[in-house]
Amino acid sequence: MKIQDIPAKQCEFFKQLMLENKWRITHQDAGQTHLVGWGYEIHWLLDNQKAILRYSDKQGVASAILEYSDAATDEMNGLLNQLKKGEDD
């Protein structure tokens, strides 16, 4: 599995990209974290490729981590490039 930080403000766009690229949500959970924050975790599957997005916001400081299988590397690189383009616009 590979792990990569992504801009927290891009998480909604990333979730939309996953949907558009036919990734299927297999699990999602959201709730309070550490008494002072909020977060969610979403698991996706596409063929033999897996990806997990972990988002947290603790007292207004948001962060996001994307974890994905080696098999998903090319697919994720393409989606992350789209995120970068979206950030530049």
Map out the domains of the chain as residue ranges. 2-88
Which CATH class for the 2-88 domain?
A: alpha beta
49-82: per-residue pLDDT in tens?
Answer: 999 999 999 888 999 999 999 999 999 999 999 8
Q: Which residue has the tokens 């924050």?
A: 37
Query: How much of the chain exceeds pLDDT 90, in percent?
Result: 78
Half-sphere exposure of 8 (CA within 13 A, CB side): 14
Q: Which residue has the tokens 């998903």?
A: 72
pLDDT value of residue 36: 73
